[in-house]
């Protein structure tokens, strides 16, 4: 049977695997030790090691093949595009229902004078020596218990997703009374007190309660500009996209404003946006925070101010009663972000007393659409020594803009989450999970996020990420009757 390979689910129609290839598996290596005066050696254990091997491939190059007769350079260029990845890829034989997470190593050697057929080899490097089932599995917990059946020959990691139906100070999942993972605090001697009630949390799926900003420009050099444009719902119904930009000099865009249900003295405000940076261009998007008099109090946002470079940065600026700005945070993207086509950016500003805390993180929306693996994370604190920035937060506005005369790097707001921080009762447990929050735990990536915020710092010291063994495992969720939980996994083979 003629077989071919798939790389990230892509194939080349004229490429197939040479007959007789032997698939390597079960790459266990024994560790032994020789002892003087004793015959043989002592068994010290075994481990599953990474390994590499060559796959012999054949190029069909005749009049009946796809695209007919091909030149040396035609074939080579297609092969380079097919195998040229810096990161791991899914490598699958078309005839099999499993894949490797593989790297490719050169060189590719093709005869200068083509023959029929053309043969060559590609080196495969497996730092992850397991095979993974193409078809994933999932199961939903019933009465806080969930069964996992791993039909593979090796243990396998889990992905846990738990939606809170009540506020909670922790989430825990245990396996067969052997291993457990917990985020938060379950100490029974501490009172559970929710001292961080949500005031206004919203994904941007409609404009209910928002008012278009027509003439009130935003006086912020870092994140403001002229208003008057329109917002439309974009990003599959999940974001505000600016359109109909006003014709003026400088930064022009769309703004929308609303009052909060109550003023907040101490608060935590998170703004999230999506940045389309496949192409170059200038753009900015921000959430602006106003006091009860309608004066700017703070701005948190993302900006790319270079029309020919993809060097974005996150800015946080405070404003005193007179409107004078004080930039307290300016974080430029790490170089790893420059080559990503679409990123989701989170910015969180927290004020308790005279201490401001900033936390920012991002996701690669193309490779991580479920937002399980945060990247380019950063945190900073700033003290308002003179107490110039203590006015209550009462009004918020969303603004997205381009620099007139230059190409726009599209940036769309996705959501705004405004939480009041009340005085914490002495000895109380933090309610880190609110009703409706989604807890995501990726045991293989060793990441935990709550509502897409990195929460590794809240992981219980004694708990750890775990795999489920081949066969049947029983998982228990705690606390009881608080979470709707789903567990996902892939059968894994040696």
Give every CB contact of residue 198 below 8 A, 6+ residues apart in sequence: 417, 418, 419, 420, 434
Distance of CA 202 to the CA centre of its chain: 20
Instruction: Place 117 in a pLDDT band, splitting at 50, 70 and 90.
Output: confident
Percent of the chain with pLDDT over 70: 98
Is residue 298 a contact partner of residue 388, using CB atoms and an 8 Å limit? no
Confidence at residue 65, expressed as pLDDT on a 0 to 100 scale: 64
Confidence at residue 141, expressed as pLDDT on a 0 to 100 scale: 95
Instruction: Place 453 in a pLDDT band, splitting at 50, 70 and 90.
Output: very high
Confidence at residue 430, expressed as pLDDT on a 0 to 100 scale: 81
| Tokens standing for residue 96 | 């099999």
Q: Which of these ranges, 124-138, 188-202, 364-378, 398-412, has the smallest mean pLDDT?
A: 188-202
Q: Which of these ranges, 60-64, 100-104, 277-281, 376-380, has the smallest mean pLDDT?
A: 60-64
Q: Which of these ranges, 5-9, 110-114, 394-398, 404-408, has the smallest mean pLDDT?
A: 110-114
The string of pLDDT tens digits covering residues 19-39 is 999 999 998 888 988 888 888
**Residue 192 confidence (pLDDT) above 60:** yes
Percent of the chain with pLDDT over 90: 76
For residues 125-145, average pLDDT: 95
What b/e readout covers 410-420, taking b as 16+ CB neighbours within 10 angstroms?
bbbbbbbbbbb
Q: What are phi and psi of 159, to 5 degrees?
A: -120, 125
CATH number for region 137-193+427-493 = 2.60.120.860
Instruction: Place 462 in a pLDDT band, splitting at 50, 70 and 90.
Output: confident
The string of pLDDT tens digits covering residues 347-357 is 999 999 999 99
**Residue 213 confidence (pLDDT) above 70:** yes
- pTM of the shown model: 0.86
Domain coordinates of the chain in residue numbers?
Answer: 5-132, 137-193+427-493, 198-420
Confidence at residue 43, expressed as pLDDT on a 0 to 100 scale: 86
Q: What are phi and psi of 204, to 5 degrees?
A: -85, 80
- Beta strands 313-319 and 230-234, pairing class: unpaired
From the list 92, 106, 93, the residue with the least C-alpha distance to 2 is: 93
Q: Transcribe 79-114 into DSSP letters.
A: HHHHH--SS-EEEEETT-SEEEEEEEE------SS-
**Residue 167 confidence (pLDDT) above 80:** yes
The CA distance from 377 to 449, in Å, is 13
One fold for 137-193+427-493 and 198-420: yes
Higher pLDDT: 86 or 61? It is 86
The string of pLDDT tens digits covering residues 303-347 is 999 988 899 999 999 999 999 999 999 999 999 999 999 999 999
Instruction: Place 93 in a pLDDT band, splitting at 50, 70 and 90.
Output: very high
CATH 2.60.120.200 describes domain 198-420: yes
**Residue 249 confidence (pLDDT) above 80:** yes
**Torsional sign, CA 12, 18, 20, 24:** negative
Confidence at residue 11, expressed as pLDDT on a 0 to 100 scale: 94
Give, in degrees to the nearest 5, the angle at Cα 488 between 484 and 489: 155
The CA distance from 392 to 17, in Å, is 68
**Angstrom distances, CA of residue 172 to CA of 204, 368, 482:** 31, 24, 11
For residues 60-74, average pLDDT: 74
| Tokens standing for residue 165 | 């139906």
CATH number for region 5-132 = 2.40.30.200
Phi-psi region of 89 (alpha: psi -120 to 50; beta: other; left: phi over 0): beta
Token pair 């994140």 in the structure block, residue: 223
Phi-psi region of 273 (alpha: psi -120 to 50; beta: other; left: phi over 0): beta
From the list 211, 244, 207, 245, the residue with the least C-alpha distance to 226 is: 245
| Tokens standing for residue 417 | 């989450």
**Residue 471 confidence (pLDDT) above 80:** yes
The CA distance from 258 to 110, in Å, is 64
Confidence at residue 125, expressed as pLDDT on a 0 to 100 scale: 96
Beta-carbon-side half-sphere exposure of residue 26 (alpha carbons within 13 Å): 3
Taking the CB of residue 442, how many other CB atoms lie within 10 A of it? Answer: 20
Give every CB contact of residue 208 below 8 A, 6+ residues apart in sequence: none
Confidence at residue 153, expressed as pLDDT on a 0 to 100 scale: 96
The string of pLDDT tens digits covering residues 271-290 is 999 999 998 899 999 999 99
Q: Which of these ranges, 55-69, 175-189, 302-316, 436-450, has the smallest mean pLDDT?
A: 55-69
User: How high is the mean pLDDT of the chain?
Assistant: 92
From the list 273, 306, 274, the residue with the least C-alpha distance to 287 is: 273
Distance, first Cα to last Cα, the chain: 24
Q: What are phi and psi of 357, to 5 degrees?
A: -120, 135
Find the length of the chain.
494
For residues 149-165, average pLDDT: 96
**Residue 181 confidence (pLDDT) above 70:** yes
Confidence at residue 63, expressed as pLDDT on a 0 to 100 scale: 55
For residues 254-279, average pLDDT: 96
**Residue 182 confidence (pLDDT) above 80:** yes
């Amino acid at each position: 049977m003629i077989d071919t390979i798939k790389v990230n689910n892509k194939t080349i129609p004229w490429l197939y695997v040479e007959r007789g290839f032997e698939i390597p598996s079960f790459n266990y290596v024994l560790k032994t030790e020789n002892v003087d005066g004793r015959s043989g050696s002592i068994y010290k254990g075994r481990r599953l090691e990474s390994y590499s091997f060559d796959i012999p491939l054949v190029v069909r190059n005749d009049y009946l093949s796809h695209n007919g007769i091909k030149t040396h350079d035609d074939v080579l260029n297609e092969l380079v595009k097919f195998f040229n990845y810096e990161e791991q890829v899914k490598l699958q034989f078309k005839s099999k229902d499993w894949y490797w997470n593989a790297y490719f190593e050169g060189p590719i050697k093709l005869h200068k004078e083509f023959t029929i057929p053309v043969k060559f080899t590609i080196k495969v490097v497996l730092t992850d020596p397991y095979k993974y089932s193409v078809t994933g599995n999932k199961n939903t917990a019933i009465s806080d218990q969930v069964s996992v059946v791993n039909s593979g020959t090796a243990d396998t990691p889990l992905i846990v997703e738990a939606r809170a139906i009540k506020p909670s100070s922790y989430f825990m999942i245990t396996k067969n009374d052997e291993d457990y993972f917990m985020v938060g605090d379950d100490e029974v001697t501490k009172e559970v007190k929710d001292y961080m009630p949500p005031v206004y949390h919203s994904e941007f799926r409609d404009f209910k309660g928002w008012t278009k900003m027509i003439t009130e420009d935003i006086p912020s050099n870092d994140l403001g500009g002229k208003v008057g444009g329109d917002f439309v719902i974009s990003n599959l119904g999940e974001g505000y996209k600016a359109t109909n930009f006003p014709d003026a000099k400088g930064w022009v865009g769309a703004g929308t404003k609303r009052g909060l249900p109550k003023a907040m003295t101490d608060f935590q405000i998170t703004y999230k946006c999506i940045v389309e940076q496949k192409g170059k261009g200038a753009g900015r998007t921000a959430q602006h925070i106003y006091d009860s008099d309608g004066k700017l109090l703070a701005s948190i946002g993302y900006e790319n101010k270079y029309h020919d470079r993809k060097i974005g940065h996150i800015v946080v600026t405070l404003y005193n009663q007179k409107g004078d700005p004080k930039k307290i945070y300016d974080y430029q993207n790490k170089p790893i972000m420059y080559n990503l086509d679409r990123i989701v950016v989170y910015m969180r500003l927290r004020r308790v007393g005279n201490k401001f805390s900033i936390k920012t993180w991002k996701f690669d929306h193309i490779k991580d659409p479920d937002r399980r693996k945060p990247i380019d994370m950063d945190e900073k604190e700033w003290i308002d020594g003179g107490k110039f920035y203590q006015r209550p937060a009462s009004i918020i506005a969303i603004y997205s803009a381009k620099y007139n005369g230059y190409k726009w790097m599209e940036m769309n707001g996705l959501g705004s989450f405004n939480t009041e921080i009340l005085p914490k009762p002495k000895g109380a447990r933090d309610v880190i999970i609110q009703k409706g929050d989604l807890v995501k735990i990726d045991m293989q990536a060793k990441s935990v996020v709550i509502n897409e915020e990195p929460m590794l710092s809240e992981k219980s010291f004694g708990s750890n990420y775990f795999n489920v063994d081949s066969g049947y495992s029983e998982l228990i969720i705690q606390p009881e009757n608080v979470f709707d939980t789903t567990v996902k996994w892939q059968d894994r083979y040696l």
